[in-house]
A and B are shown apart, each in its own frame.
Chain A
Amino acid sequence: MPWNRIKVPIKSGRFLLQGDEAVADGAFCAGMRFYAGYPITPASEIITRVQDRFEESNEGVYFQGEDEIASIAACIGASWTGTKAMTATSGPGFDLMVENLGYAIFTETPMVIVDVQRAGPSTGQAARPSQGDYHQVRYATHGDYEIIVLSPWSCQELFEFGVRAFNLSERYRVPTIVLTDEAIAHLREPVEIPEEIDVFDREHDPEAPPFSFDEVDASPMPLLGDGKALLVTGSTHTEWGKRVTQDPEVHRKIVKHLIGKISNHISDIFETHEEFIEDADFVIASYGISARSGFEAMNRLRKKRIKIGFFRLKVIWPIWEKYIIQRFSNVKKVFVPEMNMGHLSSELKRILNCEIIPVTELGTNVILPEEIVKVVEENL
């Protein structure tokens, strides 16, 4: 069976971990045994932790690429041998990875990318947080596709999402991104490492075609070395990997598969954290670091007897529109704190009919609860 309950290969218990360390540990527990990356602030601590884990277990291979392009390419190559692979970077490095991210999507290669957001565009402020990559991680590469992006709000969740990202990636044969930011990645918090975790390993079938046109489900995956003279290509292809460079029908089928295998399972993928939504007239909706302040702001406002709820996206892509419409059916106003020009705000404006009020921070300071409380009180 692809799902297995396994004993974690590291010490379980409660530890004070930095966010970058926690995500590396989560990935290692999920079975990541290949890591490739290029040095970049604020993600560099991840390769340090990965090295520790590989060396003490005498398992796994890490590789410092000549750049981020080579790093993600090496991960894709390793993944086709059946090795769970991960890379980590920040905005400027993610920019370089976009080309081969598209390749991984099109060739349905499981792998995990951790994007530790920093302020941009360009070099920006390397050691200051931001949430400006919200749309980049979704729409970076050309063409039509779906992708899975998780947004942790704590070091604990960085550990858990390190596991979950691999599970989703292996299950749906899609590169999966853990989108965090400098503030959480460099924060130190107690993290509970459980004794056992559930791990999904891709369905390996040496007889199966490498690709699929199925509009509903992901397909099993053959590997290099299976003895089947596998054809893997980023060109439009048949199920058996034969390049089809002119037939529009084949291309339509592939894109429908890439989208369908994820959109048809959105209820399994999409995850939220909700408080007091049932009776709420107002809601603070957010994700990642800004949601922490949003949560505290909600608590302060509830003490003032304001009927306000809290809605946090643990998965930002794919976004489950029908579910959000249903949950917000009685809500009058939604306040959206985020460290950008209003990316989630724009999504919610597209999905919902009620009033959406962005609480934005374009500097690189984490939004404070009192700033959110102030905006809410001014707009009641």
Chain B
Amino acid sequence: MKTYMEWIRTEFFPTAFCPGCGHGIILRAIAKACDELELDRDNVVFVSGIGCSGWIPSPYIKADSIHTTHGRAIAFATGVKLARPDFTVIVVGGDGDLASIGGNHLIHAARRNIDITCIMADNNNYGMTGGQYSPTTPKGSKTSTSRKGLSEAPFDVAKLVKSAGASFVARYTVAHFPQLVNSIKKAISTEGFSFVQAISTCPTHFGRRNVTQDPYEFIDYLKRNSVNIKNITSSAESMGKIIIGEF
């Protein structure tokens, strides 16, 4: 058995994720990062909110976890960290969870630069409630609440969190597994507020309406449609692309 599997509660398998959902890859990336860092499980607390992302640590990560209210995970995590500064506190949330209803907590945690790691499992929409648009849904996307194409612009959450004061900010997709693991390891090891935006696949809702329903093709699309921030020389190169890397 791979040693990172010790961080996963396989007794709750099969997971609640839809077939082809990228959140299982994020779960494995987090487990692998914790394993490779050789974290002391008894001093690690995971905090999650509501939505598909909330299931990643609660119940699937084998460590203390608090599954909280929608959008409030960072605020709960702040209390845990202030009361027990010796704990490693890791928040896992979604794009709606952390950037919409929880947006205020996100920017203030970054401003305080409190020593919490925050992983945003970003599937570009509200998967659990039927595929409504979120603050990271690209403009023009069709969702169950933007049937003719979304007229609103999305947040660049990585840039937002960086400019609010976070110590470490990275964005990768589930098609960039080794980089994702490394960035989570860096985030946990960095003192101060660390943020990893992990772009995920949602074949059930966002993919079906905008990219593809096929999980493999979706991951391939994320790979083809991403450009590393280090390789961008002009703004034209990043037009319509997912900018990955460390910010």
Contacts and interface: CB of A to CB of B under 8 A. Distances in A.
Interface stretch (B76-84, B153-161, B183-191): B76-84
Contact of B47 (A67, A77, A78): A77
Nearest to B73: A73
Interface string A63-88: 10111011101111111110101000
Contacts of B78: 63, 65, 70, 73-74, 77
B79 A63 contact: yes
B170 interface: no
Interface stretch (A129-137, A163-171, A226-234): A226-234
Given A70-B72, A103-B69, A231-B59, A77 B79 contact: yes
A78 B66 CA distance: 12
A224 interface: yes
B79 A78 contact: yes
Contacts of A124: none
B108 A70 contact: yes
Interface string B55-78: 000110011111111001001111
Contacts of B145: none
B79 A76 contact: yes
- Chain B: interface residue count, which band? 20 to 34
A229 B9 CA distance: 10
A224 B41 CA distance: 11
Interface residues of A, number: 39
Contacts of A224: 45, 64, 66, 80, 84, 87
B38 interface: no
Contacts of B68: 73, 76, 100, 103, 234
B80 A77 contact: yes
Interface of A: 34, 36, 61, 63, 65-67, 69-71, 73-81, 83, 85, 99-100, 103, 224-235, 241-243
28 contacts: A34-B83, A36-B79, A66-B75, A69-B75, A69-B105, A71-B75, A73-B78, A77-B76, A77-B77, A77-B83, A78-B82, A80-B80, A83-B83, A85-B83, A103-B68, A224-B64, A225-B42, A225-B45, A229-B64, A230-B64, A230-B65, A231-B59, A232-B65, A234-B68, A234-B69, A242-B12, A242-B59, A243-B58
